[in-house]
Amino acid sequence: MPNPRVGCVLVKDEKVIGEGYHQRAGQAHAEINALNSVANLNDIKGATAYVTLEPCSHYGRTGPCSDALINAGVKRVVYAMADPNPKVAHHEQGSGIERMRRAGLVVEGPLMEAQAEALNRGFLHRMRTGRPRVVCKLAMSLDGRTAMASGESQWITGPDARKEVQTLRAQSCAIVTGWSTVKVDGARMTVRSNELPSNVAMSVGDRQPLRVVLDSQTQLQGDEPLFQAEGPVLWVSGLLEPVSQVATSRSTLPTLRSTVEHMSVPLHDGHINLIRMLEELGRRECNNVLVEAGSTLAGAFVQAGLVDELRVYMAPTLMGSTAQPLLTLPIASMSDQRPLNIESITAIGKDWRIIAMPS
Ligand code: AOF
Ligand code: ZN
């Protein structure tokens, strides 16, 4: 993060002569690592490079990969998909593809575009919209309930599903939640690295995703467990009117940990503008957002059309008709339904995981 996952393989005379991948933002891109992996530089002359993303054309944290391939003597480049990053796609000296063609290389693609797209859904979404991709995770009973009338909701799903959510958190840039989850459930929304599968634990290290708490009416004190737990927090609350009152309310905030940032935003009909909030996360180069919230906030995200993926964990239990529905989403007529495409239904321990996208 915030960069895409990219891999590159160099082939000469039907043999793989080098390979590399982009390991971390700030370090060399896939193509450079692949070129550096070849012992004899002469072997690269006339080789073909296979890349999962169009080689870049810009000077960012590193130099342009398209130039590096040209200068190394690569003759043909096969790319899986074009890079929608405006810095590459709209570069004044041409995109990576254009530069390489101009230099006389044979450039072919896209090839296996859907698979390449699936590698980097969050990054690609941010490049196209300026906002992160939003996954909304929910847990429900077989009768579609997500909390008792009292708000009590722990635990609906079993340990396997909860473990998977740890992985989902670890792989997200930010986790968005609402004040009531923080207050009522005492949720910390952290990643517990000892609950991660070892390969995930290795790739994320001890990084904690940014936890974003939406608290339009400033109902939180700032001393709840979420604020005490390790890792960065963005506490978003509504501006009180008149502005002078803001200072008053601020003076009542306890001393916050240095990793907690408090941000006041103008409210719209008493609510935090979710699109603005996502745009702010996009500016912070956040690719993937996980919404882990109660039915009200999750419903607001769905209602605003901001959920790119719904992940529902369904537990083999009935919570009854006085319990709360999955989402607060008032729909009056069948013509206003929100149709979804189900991508997969998978057994996770005793629960079922349903992944659905808006159609
Ligand atoms: C490539 N090969 O392996 C990757 C690319 O900040 P920088 O310099 O690392 O540039 C990041 C941008 O480069 C990123 O937003 C994306 O457009 C492209 N990523 N390009 O040619 C790579 N990771
Ligand atoms: Zn590059």
Whether omega before 159 lies within 30 degrees of 0, making that bond cis, reads: no
Average model confidence (pLDDT) across the chain: 93
Q: Is 31 a catalytic residue?
A: yes
Render pLDDT for 113-143 as a digit per residue (tens, 0 to 9). 999 999 999 999 999 999 999 999 999 999 9
pLDDT at 246: 47
For residue 238, the cross-strand partners are 265
Render pLDDT for 272-310 as a digit per residue (tens, 0 to 9). 999 999 999 999 999 999 999 999 999 999 999 999 999
Tokens of 129: 């919209």
Q: Are strands 324-325 and 48-51 parallel, antiparallel or unpaired?
A: unpaired
- Ligand 1: does its nearest atom lie under 6 Å from the Cβ of 88? yes
pLDDT at 41: 93
In angstroms, rounded to a whole number, what is the distance separating the alpha carbons of residues 280 and 126?
A: 12
Q: What residue owns the CA closest to ligand 1's atom 2?
A: 29
Taking Cα atoms as reference points, which of 32, 33, 309, 343 lies closest to residue 171?
309
Render pLDDT for 152-194 as a digit per residue (tens, 0 to 9). 888 999 999 999 999 999 999 999 999 999 998 899 999 998 9
- Ligand 1: does its nearest atom lie under 6 Å from the Cβ of 161? no
pLDDT tier for residue 91 given thresholds of 50, 70 and 90? confident
Could you give the ipTM of this predicted complex?
Answer: 0.95
Question: 96 C-alpha to center of ligand 1: Å?
Answer: 11
Question: 56 C-alpha to center of ligand 2: Å?
Answer: 4
In angstroms, rounded to a whole number, what is the distance separating the alpha carbons of residues 189 and 211?
A: 7
Beta strand segments in 66-217, E: 76-79, 106-108, 133-141, 145-147, 174-178, 210-215
Render pLDDT for 31-59 as a digit per residue (tens, 0 to 9). 999 999 999 999 999 999 999 999 999 88
Render pLDDT for 205-248 as a digit per residue (tens, 0 to 9). 889 999 999 999 999 999 999 999 999 999 999 976 544 444 44
pLDDT at 293: 95
- Ligand 1: does its nearest atom lie under 6 Å from the Cβ of 259? no
- Please choose from 9, 24, 29 the residue to mutate so as to test ligand 1's pocket, defined by most ligand atoms within 8 A of CB: 29
State which ligand 1 atom lies nearest to the alpha carbon of 29.
Answer: 3
Tokens of 349: 């321990």
Tokens of 91: 């570069």
Mean per-residue pLDDT for 98-103? 97
String of DSSP letters for 153-187:
-TTSS-HHHHHHHHHHHHT-SEEEEEHHHHHHS--
Mean per-residue pLDDT for 75-102? 94
Total Cβ atoms within 10 A of residue 67: 18
- Please choose from 27, 31, 37, 56 the residue to mutate so as to test ligand 1's pocket, defined by most ligand atoms within 8 A of CB: 56
Phi-psi region of 334 (alpha: psi -120 to 50; beta: other; left: phi over 0): alpha
218, burial (CB in 10 Å: exposed 0-12, middle 13-18, buried 19+):
buried
- Ligand 1: does its nearest atom lie under 6 Å from the Cβ of 56? yes
Backbone angles phi, psi at 55, to 5 degrees: -60, 140
Total Cβ atoms within 10 A of residue 195: 17
Tokens of 268: 């719209």
pLDDT at 92: 86
Say which range, 70-84, 144-158, 297-311, has the weakest mean pLDDT: 144-158
Question: 127 C-alpha to center of ligand 2: Å?
Answer: 16
